[in-house]
Amino acid sequence: ALGTHTAVLHASSRLIQAFETINVPVTLPKNIALRTAAAMLASFGSSLARRAAVSGTVLRSLGARSYATQDLTVRDALNSAMDEEMEKDKDVFILGEEVGDYQGAYKITRGLLQKYGANRVRDTPITEAGFTGIAVGAAFSGLKPICEFMTFNFAMQAIDQIINSAAKTLYMSAGSINCPIVFRGPNGAAAGVAAQHSQCFAAWYSHVPGLKVIAPYDAEDARGLLKASIRDPDPVVFLENEILYGESFKVDDKVMDKDFTLPIGKAKVMREGKDITLVAFGKLVGYNLKAAEILAEDDIDCEVINLRTLKPIDRDTIVNSVKKTHRLLVVEEGWPQSGVASEIMAIATEEAFDYLDAAPERITGAEVPMPYAANLEALALPTIDDVVRVAKRTMGKQ
């Protein structure tokens, strides 16, 4: 019996070593009595006992699937999501400027023309009003277009098609005409591209009934929410950020599953805390996470919420967090008046007023068109230092 248990323990330890080295999911049979072996072999030395303890930990986790992790850029997350949805559904197609031969202005559509052909990856002239109207008409006819804007600043040329046609037709047709379309592309400030290429349209589109508005932060958001948007029967405005395209994030293999989606309308608590709630979307979620690390050094425990969806907004996650922390700070790149931050502050005061120990605060972009000069551009946008400073003020520590 001792020899059998020794062999089992040795084999298990080797397996655990391999698992830790290459980080892949391993399924172990549930009938291996490792804890019994560990007890019988305790006298054989502390090193062996430690390995047995590790084996016991693996046993306790049996029944819960383990996932390997990998690095995934936001660019590749978006690309893989479109690829898989086009493979899954022949009605899905892409159109926009330079999406085909050039592989996308930011290489988001890389390889799709070669795989699916020019009928499903359509290069268009520089005429946003025209190709957006074509996309909306195709959606009315039962196709599922992904309409890419080189930047959402250019979507202003097509805003009539987005709002008056895509957003309103389901209501105006008494529910008889759906518009399953995704409008996607980079939104907000990039770097050094001045006023006409740096605007955040989150508040504009989230104001409109009939649209769903999404702003992903990391690779998991980008992949799961884009797949969900393509499958959704309603028009979705999908606001990406150019600065995030090349950033890598850790994802596990469940995110890479072809059926992986994230629910539209549900925020994510990125970091739990008890002292103050920090809320943002897109790139600024990363700012809040970094600020939370700095604030932790001053014993300020921040809860960080990634909104993910701006319409419909997840009121419950915001309110429940404020009820726990009793303080709120919202950060966005857009202009202050009638912004997303204003809406979140209103939600907090309407539904959690009695729980607030301090007035809700916001940090936004400056009330100016985006400057071209780098030093002025930096002054026009929120920073991590701004988040730290205002959070301390809200906590009464500055």
- For residue 337, count CB atoms less than 10 angstroms from its CB and return exposed for 0-12, middle for 13-18, buried for 19 or more: exposed
- What is the dihedral angle through the alpha carbons of 190, 191, 194, 198, rounded to the nearest 10 degrees? 10
Q: How far apart are CA 394 and CA 272, in angstroms?
A: 18
Exposure class string for 208-218: b at 16+ Cβ within 10 A, else e: bebbbbbbbbb
Q: For 244-379, list the strands marked E by DSSP.
A: 248-252, 268-271, 276-280, 302-306, 309-311, 328-331, 361-363
Q: How far apart are CA 322 and CA 342, in angstroms?
A: 15
Tokens representing 224 are 């799961």
Report the relative pairing of strands 92-96 and 144-148 from DSSP bridges.
parallel
User: Of 84, 85, 128, 220, which is the active-site residue?
Assistant: 128
User: Of 148, 197, 333, 343, which is the active-site residue?
Assistant: 197
Task: Report which residue type is found at 359.
Answer: A
Sequence length of the chain is 398
Catalytic residue status for 197: yes
Q: How far apart are CA 238 and CA 391, in angstroms?
A: 29
**Residues with a known catalytic role:** 128, 197
